[in-house]
Structure 1
Amino acid sequence: MTAEKANNLLEQIARSKKEGRLPPVHDWHPPFCGDIDMVIKADGSWHYMGSPIGRERMVRLFSTVLRRDDDDYFLVTPVEKVGITVEDVPFVVTAVQVRDVEGAQVLEFTTSVGDTVVASAENPMRVELDPQTQEPRPYILIRDRLEARIHRNVFYELVEMAKPTLIDGVEWFGVESAGEFFRIAPVS
């Protein structure tokens, strides 16, 4: 992708952002224009042509037009669709706040690109085990098949507030949010 095409893509994204909400990327079906040398690293940092993108506003802008189709990730505008590489998932949760909403505990997560989401049936949290290290890898659905990995520090906060609950004859440590129980690990 040339610098001119990259600037054109940025202009298109900025125009779609003027409405003050996320662009309707799932309603856009432009032609595929090829892959670009953009990578979202496992640590949540964004890189273009091997260099980190240091401007937070630019990363946030790109994050608003990110779409996942099957197992591939794309930046999508009304007129272009370009493929990018995502090493794990595109976002990282950097903070959690515990709130009381009408007597129910709600966990509100914030990502490194400024998205906020409440763990709920619509935005479930899950924990996988790394196949090599057996360390837990927690995730939460942010939007439209796009997940965030929950940063280790935030995960430790969740572990601190975890309580045992019996589910189908198995006792699990987990957390509640918006009336849902999210499993962290079985009780040994």
Structure 2
Amino acid sequence: MKNVDLSAIKASEKMPPVHLWKPELCGDMDLVIRSNGEWIHEGAPMKRASMRKMFSRILWLEDGEHYLVTPHEKVHIQVEDAPFLVTQSKIERDSNAGLVTFTTNVDDVLVLGKDCDLWVETGPEGDRPYISMRYGMKAMLHRSVYYDLVNNGYEKEIEGKQHVCIESAGKEFSLGIFDI
């Protein structure tokens, strides 16, 4: 990404209108977002949180591939699993309902059931919990966040199997099957 002024993105907490930008592909950028949430640029960790946050705001998913997009350029990057990692959660309860708020490694704040949905994918490496993010992207829940949700969840039978569930914003989400 050359000669593009991204200062307006950095200065504003408002999301840029990436969905309106349709530039041509300019090539690849040596940027990898690892499955542990680490950003690697040209072989070295991207240490500046402000840079990761700024780039995350112009991240776009198209046909299963991830790109950084500006009004004039689109560059392909590598993402090992999910481009975002949920690092914190906050569970609030009152007499009627619960509310779960997530914070990602790039300071996105989302309310489960309002801004995002949750699902668990089971594979050879075990359960991997995700939430939906903007533009069809997803964030993986850090293990400690997932365990906190499970610890605060409740058991419920769904289609003959015992699940651990959590409720947020009036919606119920399964955290996985409870094996006895």
**Equivalence for 2:43:** 50
**Equivalence for 1:175:** 166
The question of 1:74 aligning with 2:67 is answered yes
CA RMSD of aligned residues (A): 1.8
**Equivalence for 1:112:** 105
Structure 1: runs of 5 or more not aligned = none
How far residue 31 of structure 1 moved from its aligned partner, in angstroms, is: 1.3
Letter in 2 for 1:90: P
How far residue 187 of structure 1 moved from its aligned partner, in angstroms, is: 3.3
Letter in 1 for 2:154: K
Distance 1:126 1:63 in 2: 22
How far residue 158 of structure 1 moved from its aligned partner, in angstroms, is: 0.8
Number of residue pairs the alignment of both structures matches: 179
Q: 6, 22, 30: which one pairs with 1:29?
A: 22
**Equivalence for 1:165:** 156
**Equivalence for 1:92:** 85
Letter in 2 for 1:129: T
Distance 2:93 2:150 in 1: 19
Letter in 2 for 1:155: Y
Give the TM-score normalised by the residue count of structure 2: 0.92
Letter in 1 for 2:55: F
* CA-to-aligned-CA distance 1:2-54 (integer Å, 9 cap, x gap): xxx2xx34x2x322454540001010001110111110011111111111110
Letter in 2 for 1:91: F
CA contact (8 A) 2:102 2:109 kept: yes
Percent identity (aligned): 39
For the residue of structure 1 that corresponds to 2:133, the secondary structure is: strand
Structure 2: runs of 5 or more not aligned = none
How far residue 162 of structure 1 moved from its aligned partner, in angstroms, is: 1.4
Give the TM-score normalised by the residue count of structure 1: 0.88
The question of 1:145 aligning with 2:133 is answered no
Farther-moved stretch of structure 1 (117-126 vs 138-147): 117-126
For the residue of structure 2 that corresponds to 1:36, the secondary structure is: strand
Distance 1:101 1:146 in 2: 31
